[in-house]
Amino acid sequence: MTMSVQNPLLEPSTTTLGGMLRAQAAAHPTLTAIRFAGQSISYEELDRRVDQAAALLLRHGIRHGDRIALMLPNCPEMLIFDLACFRLGAAAVPINTRYQRAEAEYALQHSGAVLLIADARFFPIIDGLHDELPDLRELLIRGAAGNSDLDLDQALAAVQSAGTAAAPIADAAAADDPAVIFYTSGSTARPKGVVHTHQTLLGAARCQVATRRLAPGRRWLVATGIGYVAGLAGVSLPCLYGGATILIEEDLSADSLINAIARERAQASIILPTKLLDILESPLAAERDLSSFEQVYVGGDECSQDLYRRFRARFGRDLAQLLGMTECEGYLTNQPSDGNRPGSIGRPANNVEVRLLGDDGRELGTGMAGEMAVRAPGMMVGYWQNPEATAETLVEGWLHTGDVARRDDEGYYWFVERKREIVIHDGSNIAPHEVENLIDSHPLVAESCVVGVPDPHHGALLKAFVELEPDADPTAIAALSGDVLAAWLETRLSHYKIPTLWELLPRLPRTATGKMDRKTLHARADPMGKPHRRRISCTQDPRAGEPRP
């Protein structure tokens, strides 16, 4: 895929991610690159393991330009196979570990992935997909328990014993090759594939090394999934670029992260407000020595003043809020040690420009609220196979974020609102249209409207207003409820996207032109009112990637 959008701030460099790792392995061979399950992987060993993974991919026919899907929890293999893809000039496609079958199938089909590497726990979701999707040729399963045709561990062992990777694998990538395609909820019914190249991911890494003062040997905890932009482009790749240590935990529950901070003496992290709140509310946090945890950034959702106060009371230092998106990680940031404005989303990161634009596209001045447009070395080059959305979002080298903010006299930005109908629940972006399309496919539903309801812990809860089919069987209609509809969605949609609040109506309100009156429904949504309320667990198996991204 060739992307035509150019970023004027990118250096005219041919440096690749595989070349970056090779250089770091030569410069810091004995420094620890990864800590996982009590074991250390040095930079030299990481480079060797990446070569072995790349050799395995070559055995399976992977070539420059192919897309490789990865559905793995947080583990060294997730990062190693990312880097192996980069070395071969292939693109990694992280598959959200909370996806249900239809969601995973869409990402695999849309990306044209030819190989899927997945953990055995996700096999029920992806079983048989390689027979149904014409591009998907093979599956490799981590922990396949002896199934020789699928066993990833056995295949890697065979490569190691054969000495296939004794010689370094040549770097086949170019700087402008797609490196990762992240699938993210947007303002449309289907997730969009955000394309980052070697150059944009290296640009993001350089930006964050400078902005976050990331130094060799510093210990960064990955508190989100490595398959998300924050976990990969926000923490892992900047750590590798700066010679730091990546602390990986497969279990991302609050208590697991607390134990990791204490055991590994973690110094820094990027964490979600809801996850940080869970940590502060856990009794274990009072029992463990967390004094090393000194550089903590929070992002992915709004951060309350209460969270700032509670963090300072427990850790004795400031929490720093930042703002980013899959299309451009961490473009605004505060600093924990200095230049911090609680409640602000910060100032532009190193080598990042931010403009505020009015509805007419003109730049606005200090104190005025406008849509943020960003120009940065680490911003995406476009959306995979979606030139219309790319042209709408990237305009003359500027990324239009859809977020409205204002800037104060000191250059700090303050969030105002989102222009698009996105609901953020526990740090995850949810496109209401995606949820509505599935609800509308139920035979007893005529139409639905999904809105966000403010919640002090989760940021927002999803509420579904449902208009019933007027000609449906009255007995079937009488048996329908929010619980029934939610249960029907269980196998069709990730659990975090299933509404927790439901209201079934004979007819949804309309505007004078016949369109859905979303404003009226937003005003009607009330979590303390009488409509049926169904709570679902916001967590899943804590080992399965990120419980609440």
For the chain, percent of residues with pLDDT exceeding 90: 68
Q: Tell whether 457 is covered by a domain.
A: yes
* 358 pLDDT above the threshold of 50: yes
What is the structure's pLDDT at 179?
Answer: 98
* 13 pLDDT above the threshold of 90: no
DSSP-assigned letters across all residues of 192-229: EEEEEEHHHHHHHHHHHHHHTT--TT-EEEE-S-TTSH
Q: Tell whether 505 is covered by a domain.
A: yes
| Cα(109)–Cα(123) distance, integer angstroms | 17
What is the structure's pLDDT at 189?
Answer: 62
CA 418 to chain centre: 18
What is the structure's pLDDT at 513?
Answer: 55
Residues 114 and 231 in one domain: no
What is the structure's pLDDT at 184?
Answer: 86
Range of the domain at 497: 431-524
Residues 212 and 326 in one domain: yes
What is the structure's pLDDT at 547?
Answer: 28
Q: Tell whether 247 is covered by a domain.
A: yes
Residue 472, domain CATH: 3.30.300.30
Residue 96, domain CATH: 3.40.50.980
* 253 pLDDT above the threshold of 60: yes
- Structure pTM? 0.83
pLDDT tier for residue 535 given thresholds of 50, 70 and 90: very low
* 7 pLDDT above the threshold of 70: no
Q: Decide if 372 contacts 354 (C-beta within 8 A).
A: yes
Residues 110 and 245 in one domain: no
> Where is pLDDT greater, at 174 or 548?
174
pLDDT in tens, 165-200: 467 899 999 999 999 999 986 555 688 999 999 999
What is the structure's pLDDT at 140?
Answer: 95
* 362 pLDDT above the threshold of 50: yes
Angle between helices 305-315 and 273-281 (to 10 degrees): 50
Token reading at 90: 């292939």
Q: For 43-85, give the secondary structure using H, E and C.
A: HHHHHHHHHHHHHHHHHCCCCCCCEEEEECCCCHHHHHHHHHH
Q: Tell whether 531 is covered by a domain.
A: no
pLDDT in tens, 300-315: 877 888 889 889 999 9
Q: Tell whether 25 is covered by a domain.
A: no
Give the chain's count of helices (H) and strands (E).
Answer: 19, 26
Residue 289, domain CATH: 3.40.50.12780
pLDDT tier for residue 529 given thresholds of 50, 70 and 90: very low
Residues 413 and 444 in one domain: no
> Is residue 261 classed as helix, strand or coil in its secondary structure?
helix
pLDDT in tens, 128-156: 998 899 999 999 999 987 666 789 989 88
β 423-425/413-418 pair status: unpaired
pLDDT tier for residue 5 given thresholds of 50, 70 and 90: very low
Q: Tell whether 23 is covered by a domain.
A: no
Residues 494 and 353 in one domain: no
Q: Tell whether 543 is covered by a domain.
A: no
Residues 250 and 114 in one domain: no
Q: How large is the average pLDDT for residues 26-50?
A: 97
What is the structure's pLDDT at 515?
Answer: 67
Residues 398 and 461 in one domain: no
Residues 158 and 63 in one domain: yes
What is the structure's pLDDT at 147?
Answer: 66
Q: How large is the average pLDDT for residues 27-48?
A: 97
pLDDT in tens, 78-122: 999 999 999 999 999 999 999 999 999 999 999 999 999 999 999
* 492 pLDDT above the threshold of 80: yes
What is the structure's pLDDT at 161?
Answer: 81
Q: Tell whether 258 is covered by a domain.
A: yes
What is the structure's pLDDT at 363?
Answer: 96
Residues 300 and 363 in one domain: yes
Burial 277-306 (b: 16+ CB within 10 A, else e): bbbbebeebeeeebeebebbbbbbbbbbee
The whole-chain average pLDDT of the chain stands at: 88
Residues 414 and 445 in one domain: no
Split into its structural domains, the chain has a count of 3
Among 156, 149, 241, which Cα is nearest to 201's?
241
* 243 pLDDT above the threshold of 60: yes
> Is residue 387 classed as helix, strand or coil in its secondary structure?
helix
Residues 49 and 157 in one domain: yes
Half-sphere exposure for 473 (CA within 13 Å, toward CB): 5
DSSP-assigned letters across all residues of 117-129: EEEGGGHHHHTTH
